Structure 1
């Protein structure tokens, strides 16, 4: 069916209010875009952040009375700010369009992440079946990519891995499919636990994965620990994360901007012999080996 799109460019406070009124006026969906390419790097868990200049996009049936909808929005003070534009969208299969934008991605020599609707490029490789969605990490972002590349060369048979801030579970699942004996995923968000469970089940490794919220996390030391979160939590939880790595064990940290890498290295160098920092676009990975006890 054909659609009409109402694009409202305004400030972040007004964008949220406009979104609510768009839904009241029959929008099928409302999405937000950054109007000025201003990155948001470190939201706190559970925060919903918008950019200083935000575009709220309401999607409507082609028969919708857009003049009446705009008039409704402009009766409010927040609707009188900024500017708007009405666009006609061509009739197409939007679900298929979205699916076609995701393709299998290779990491290293033998690891692939494949959407479920795509043909697996190399059946003999290590293939992770993972669909894009609400779950925090599909391999497309540089921070996840850096971790997957590292795991592909560092996981050994019989390893136990801790995925600290597991999100979708992609790193834990990858480690298990690469040969790890056991993985433990920890995350503050119950939705992440659900997503990790579903992805582990889809990849037939759920029997080797344990998942915990922080208040229930076990005391243990693992052969390998990965933490793809953000620089702030990596600073604040440095001692906690480091304690999960056994002497001689391996650590990989990601979610770090290039401007933050030096500080993270300084913090973790007290416990680890660090490797050269790896970088992809503006993001870095810090990795190393836990120092042996004296």
Structure 2
């Protein structure tokens, strides 16, 4: 099957209106891309992570008449801050297969593998701890440095028999990793109900029972403390949530935070330093992970 794509350059304020217009015109898919190479990270729970300037692309069958859609976009060009839009024909290629081929099993730390359902972990990885996770709508597949930093940290921790809190669980990848690495109970929380649904579904696909990973909204978190707390969100919320996250940590409990750009590390560290000892900052590309141990 041959395809055509409509490419529209706009701003984040108008992404909903434009994507809705593309969908109403019968788009087989609508995708978002960064227009100016602006970094983006795992979002604050409940937020859609988009760049300030973005490219929205709608994919349509080649024979589809998109004249009405083009006129509609032209009519709203100024009110929707559309810098430009264009229609392109795509050569006949196996797009789905090419997309799938881009995703390979990924190793984090010494033994933690994340792999999609259409691939296998290398047979040589005899001590592998495997997480089955297909790319989807919920964020967190291991591709982003912030997720990788958290997965590598979990792989290096002794989680056997521990109680773990994943604050801002997204796809559930960190909660699943903790459970697979031996945690007795993992509580995964997120402001977005869809993230909780994704976590439940991904846990089920990884043969984890409902009592192994408990999901809830932040306001429904049980009043207890945890051996390990991990949060991969944004630096601003990490600073705001410092008293909350620290209140969930047992004395001598372990804390790991990510979603922190290099120039934000000092600010985040300052919000936690009074309660932590043995703190350490680890960098991957332009992102940081802050870890430490709660004071007794």
| TM-score (structure 2 length as normaliser) | 0.89
Alpha carbon RMSD of aligned pairs, Å? 2.3
2:250 counterpart of 1:246:
yes
Distance 1:47 1:203 in 2: 26
> How many Å separate the matches in 2 of 1:208 and 1:42?
24
Whole-angstrom distance in 2 between the partners of 1:14 and 1:218: 39
Partner residue, 1:85: 86
Q: 1:62 to 1:167 in 2, by over 3 A?
A: same
- Which structure has the bigger radius of gyration? 1
268, 278, 282: which one pairs with 1:278? 282
Cα separation, 1, equivalents of 2:204 and 2:282 = 31
* Residues 68-116 of structure 1, C-alpha deviations (whole Å, 9 max, x = no match): 5423432445489533332211223322222111110001111111111
After the TM superposition, which residues 185-224 of structure 1 pair with which residues of structure 2 at under 5 Å, given as runs?
185-206=188-209, 207-224=211-228
**In the alignment, does 2:133 pair up with 1:130?**
yes
The reply on whether 1:170 has 2:203 as its aligned counterpart is: no
Alignment of 1:1-294 (within 5 A): 1-13=1-13, 16-40=16-40, 45-48=45-48, 51-67=51-67, 69-78=69-78, 81-121=82-122, 122-206=125-209, 207-292=211-296
Instruction: Work out the CA distance in 2 between the residues paired with 1:59 and 1:71.
Output: 17
Distance 2:142 2:41 in 1: 18
Listed as ranges, the gaps of 5+ residues in structure 1 are none
Q: Deviations over 1:167-226 (max 9, x none)?
A: 111111111111111111111111111111111122222231211111211011111111
Instruction: Please say if residues 103 and 114 of structure 1, whose CA atoms lie closer than 8 Å, have aligned partners that are also in contact.
Output: yes
> Which deviates the most, 150-159 or 82-91?
82-91
Supply the distance in 1 between the matched residues of 2:184 and 2:58 (Cα, whole angstroms): 47
Q: CA deviation at 1:57?
A: 1.8
Q: Is the 8 A contact 2:21 2:69 kept in 1?
A: no
Quote the offset at 1:13 in angstroms: 4.7
Higher relative contact order (CA 8 A, sep 6+): 2
2:45–2:168 contact (8 Å) kept in structure 1: no
**Post-superposition CA distance 1:13-40 (Å, at most 9, x none):** 5554443333343333332322222345
Q: Deviations over 1:131-164 (max 9, x none)?
A: 1111221111111111111111112321111111
Q: Distance in 2 between matches of 1:199 and 1:184?
A: 14
Deviations 1:216-262 (A, max 9, x none): 11011111111111111111111110111111111111111111111
Q: In 2, Cα distance between the equivalents of 1:263 and 1:215?
A: 26
Residues 243 and 276 (structure 1), Cα distance of their counterparts in 2 relative to 1, 3 Å cut: same
Give the secondary-structure state (helix, strand or coil) at the position aligned to 1:279: strand
**Aligned 8 A contact 1:274 1:286 in 2:** no
Distance 2:10 2:159 in 1: 52
